[in-house]
Copies of this chain bind each other. A is one copy, B any other.
Amino acid sequence: MKKTKLGEFEELVLLTVAALQHDAYGVEIKRELETRLNERLSVGSIQSALKRMEEKGFLTSAFGEATLKRGGKRKRIYYTTSHALKVLEEMRAIRADLWKSIPLIVSELKMI
């Protein structure tokens, strides 16, 4: 695997950004992923993944407007680039093909 590719965690964060659309900012991404992984995450780990991916051209970001809730610091909203979506789709296809190649007996065992 060449550099400029995605790490495991980065890929999950990227998918979450795509899923959240205009609500994709640090803390919300944290909440969403914690629910999906059923596991606690630190905001910092997500922030640094977001920063890395922005530098690599997988994400862009812009500040949104201030909230009306307490602690109304401006949210930095992240958006996936078309390049990111292309890479995500490539990864999905590669994994899907691998799963197809796994003998049936084995791939049914895991259902237990």
Contact = CB atoms under 8 A, between A and B. Distances in A.
Interface of A: 1-2, 5-9, 11-12, 15-16, 18-19, 21, 36-37, 39, 41, 45, 80, 82, 85-86, 88-89, 92, 94-95, 97-99, 101-103, 106-107, 109-112
A45 B5 CA distance: 16
This chain: copies in complex = 2
A8 to B, nearest CB: 4
Contacts of A41: 1
For the residues of A in contact with B, the DSSP-based class is: helix
Given A7-B8, A103-B21, A110 B97 contact: no
B37 A94 contact: yes
Given A1-B8, A89-B111, A110-B86, A98 B39 contact: no
B12 A11 contact: no
Contacts of A37: 1, 94
28 contacts: A1-B12, A1-B39, A1-B41, A1-B45, A6-B8, A7-B7, A7-B8, A8-B8, A8-B11, A12-B94, A12-B95, A15-B95, A15-B98, A15-B99, A16-B98, A18-B98, A18-B107, A19-B98, A19-B101, A19-B102, A19-B103, A36-B94, A82-B109, A82-B110, A82-B112, A85-B106, A85-B110, A92-B95
